[in-house]
Chain A
Amino acid sequence: MFKIKKLFKRLTFGLCGIATAGLLLTGCGGDSAGGGNADSTVLKVGVTNFADTLEPTQNYFGWVVMRYGLGECLTKFDEKMNIVPWLAESWSTSEDHLTWTFKIRDGVKFSNGDPLTAEAVKSSIERAFQKNARAATFFEYESITADGQNLIIKTKKPLPGMPGYLADPLFIIVDTAAESGRDFSKEGPICTGPYTVESFVKEKAVMKKNPNYYAEVPYETVEIPSIDDPNTRAMALQAGDVDIAVNIAAGDIDIFKGNDKFLVDEIPSLRVVLARMNQNPDRILADPKVRAAFISGCDRETYNNVLLKGTFIPGKAPVPPSLDYGFDKLTDPNAYNPERAKTLLAEAGWADSNGDGILDKDGKNLELDFVVYNSRAELPLYAEAVQADLKKLGFDIKINTVDYNLIDNMGIKGEYDLLISNITTANTGDPEIFLTWYWKTNVDGNNPQNGSGYSNPEYDAKLEELNSEFDAEKRKQLIIDLQQILLNDAASIFFGYPQTNIISSKRVDGVKMYPSDYYWITNLIKPAK
Chain B
Amino acid sequence: MTDFIKQNKLFTFYTALVILLVIIAIFAPQLAPQDPYEGDMRNVLQPPSDEHIFGTDKLGRDTFSRIICGTQVSLFMTICVVILLAVVGGVVGILSGYFGGKVEMILMRIADMMLAFPGVVLAIAIAGILGGSIVNTILALLAVGWAKYARLVRSLVIKLRYNDFIIAAQVNGTKTINILWRHVLPNILPMIVITGAMDIGTMMMEIAGLSFLGFGAQAPTPEWGLMLNEGRQYIQTAPLLMIYPGLAIFIVVAIFNLWGDALRDLLDPRHD
Q: Which residues in A have some Cβ–Cβ distance to B below 8 Å?
A: 230-231, 234-235, 249, 251-252, 254-255, 299, 302-303, 306-307, 374, 377, 380-381, 383-385, 387-389, 391-392, 398-401
Contact = CB atoms under 8 A, between A and B. Distances in A.
Contact of B59 (A230, A254, A307, A392): A307
Contact of A388 (B220, B232, B233): B220
Contacts of B44: 306-307
A262 to B, nearest CB: 14
B236 A385 contact: no
A401 B220 contact: no
20 contacts: A231-B232, A231-B235, A234-B236, A249-B233, A251-B234, A251-B236, A254-B237, A255-B237, A302-B41, A306-B41, A306-B44, A381-B58, A384-B219, A385-B41, A388-B37, A388-B38, A388-B39, A388-B41, A391-B38, A401-B218
Contact of A380 (B38, B219, B234, B236): B219
A388 B39 CA distance: 8
Interface in B116-170: 131-132
Interface in B218-265: 218-220, 232-238
A50 B80 CA distance: 39
B59 to A, nearest CB: 6
A251 B237 contact: yes
Contacts of A254: 237
Contact of B236 (A255, A381, A388): A255
Most buried by B among A234, A254, A401: A401
A411 to B, nearest CB: 19
A377 B59 contact: no
Contacts of B233: 230-231, 249, 251, 377
A256 to B, nearest CB: 10
Most buried by B among A234, A251, A391, A392: A251
A183 to B, nearest CB: 32
Given A251-B233, A399-B218, A401-B132, 6 more contacts: A254-B237, A374-B214, A388-B38, A388-B220, A389-B41, A391-B37
A164 B32 CA distance: 58
Nearest to B61: A388
Interface of B: 37-39, 41-42, 44, 58-59, 131-132, 214, 218-220, 232-238
Contact of B42 (A249, A302, A374, A392): A302
Contacts of A249: 233
B106 to A, nearest CB: 33
Contact of A384 (B59, B131, B234): B59
A374 B42 CA distance: 24
A311 to B, nearest CB: 13
A33 to B, nearest CB: 13
A252 B45 CA distance: 13
Contacts of B218: 398-399, 401
B41 A303 contact: yes
A388 B59 contact: yes
Contacts of A234: 236
Given A374-B214, A380-B219, A388-B38, A252 B232 contact: no
Contacts of A381: 58
B41 A307 contact: yes
A391 B59 CA distance: 14
A357 to B, nearest CB: 11
A384 B42 contact: no
A307 B58 contact: yes
Contacts of A230: 233
A356 to B, nearest CB: 14
A265 B220 CA distance: 34
Contacts of B131: 400
A171 B205 CA distance: 50
B34 to A, nearest CB: 14
A53 B218 CA distance: 33
A291 B236 CA distance: 38
A299 B236 CA distance: 27
A251 B220 CA distance: 20
Contact of A252 (B37, B39, B58, B237): B237
A401 B214 contact: yes
Given A251-B233, A252-B236, A374-B214, A399 B42 contact: no
